[in-house]
Amino acid sequence: MDLQGIVPLVLYDDQCYLCIKFAKIVNFLARRKLSLVGHYSLFGEKLRSEILDSSALEMFWFVDGKTAYGGRAALVPLFKTILSSKGRKKGTTPVVETCDVGCKTAKAVFIRSASLLTNSKKIKLYS
């Protein structure tokens, strides 16, 4: 898959309240210089099937063109990119909130936050 012009990008769970809020914060901090892609969007499904593995839905991903970082492993490269971002603004990607009431509970927030700390993965991309 050719990711030229799309990276850096963040792949997040667009059906999770906490993940959507995280994506909005990342988008704000990066001044819209990152592409945001939902796991369940058409492009997100294509990314998951072509470059990620079966654990893709367990965490958010940061893709820089050479490597796909998942979960905890993505935090440092993501914030390095945000702080050193000199790229041009991407088209505004709407962050659509599609969450039911069950994902806004304290238990759901705790489980998602814990999964961020426990899940970590790196996948080298060959282009």
Q: What are the pLDDT digits (tens) for 6-21?
A: 889 999 988 888 888 8
How many separate domains does the chain show? 1
**Residue 97 in domain:** yes
**Any domain includes 4:** no
pLDDT at position 99, please? 59
Tell me whether residue 3 is in a domain.
no
Strand 61-63 vs strand 9-12: parallel, antiparallel, or unpaired?
A: antiparallel
Query: Which phi and psi angles does 67 have, rounded to 5°?
Result: -140, 145
What region, left, alpha or beta, does residue 15 occupy, with left being phi > 0 and alpha being psi -120 to 50 degrees?
alpha
pLDDT over 80 (residue 113)? no
Residue 13 belongs to a domain: yes
pLDDT in tens, 46-69: 999 999 988 888 889 999 889 999
| DSSP code per residue over 5-57 | TT-SEEEE-TT-HHHHHHHHHHHHHTTT-SEEEETTSHHHHHHHHHT--TTGG
From CA 87, how far away is CA 102, in angstroms rounded? 38
- Say how many CA atoms lie within 13 Å of 58 toward its Cβ: 15
In a domain, 109, yes or no: yes
pLDDT at position 83 over 60? yes
Domain with 89 in it: 9-124
Residue 75 maps to a domain: yes
pLDDT band, very low/low/confident/very high, at 93 (cuts 50, 70, 90):
low
Bigger pLDDT: 115 vs 123: 123
pTM comes to: 0.82
What's the mean pLDDT when you consider all of the chain? Answer: 82
Asked, for residue 88, whether it belongs to a domain, the answer is yes
In a domain, 66, yes or no: yes
